[in-house]
Structure 1
Amino acid sequence: MDVNSQNLQDKARHLQDTVLPQIDEARRNLEDLNARAASFIRANPGTCLLGAIAVGFIVGRIASRR
């Protein structure tokens, strides 16, 4: 049983070493995307507002078809 426990710990460490950098990279990418989206919205508030209204209208029409 001790060998299986050690093997499981080794696999968990390997998984952690593999997955954590990917999670950190995804977090950085999302932070960058958020910053770019916020910058775009600040530069183009009218366009974004009209887009949000249009999307809301379309979603409302789809939902009311029921």
Structure 2
Amino acid sequence: MSAPEVSEQPLLRVVKGAPDDYELAALTAVVAGLAAAVPVEEKPARRSEWANPVRRVRRPLQHGPGAWRASGFPG
């Protein structure tokens, strides 16, 4: 099994300043962690029940004793 090829270009390049080995190691760890992070799936915004289209459909009204009380119950 052969070793993977090493790229000639560095992954990171210091443009300004002179970081020491510990600062470069910390930067490399952060960049590698961000690159390997799995994007979080955003949950869809929860819609208000008032905006639910099912609420626009009314069930038939019941007739008879106690019908006025049953008309206030959710269907």
TM range (shorter): 0.3 to 0.5
TM-score normalised by length of structure 2: 0.33
TM-score normalised by length of structure 1: 0.36
Q: Which protein has greater RCO, CA pairs closer than 8 Å, 6+ apart? A: 2
Give the structure with higher Rg (CA).
Answer: 2
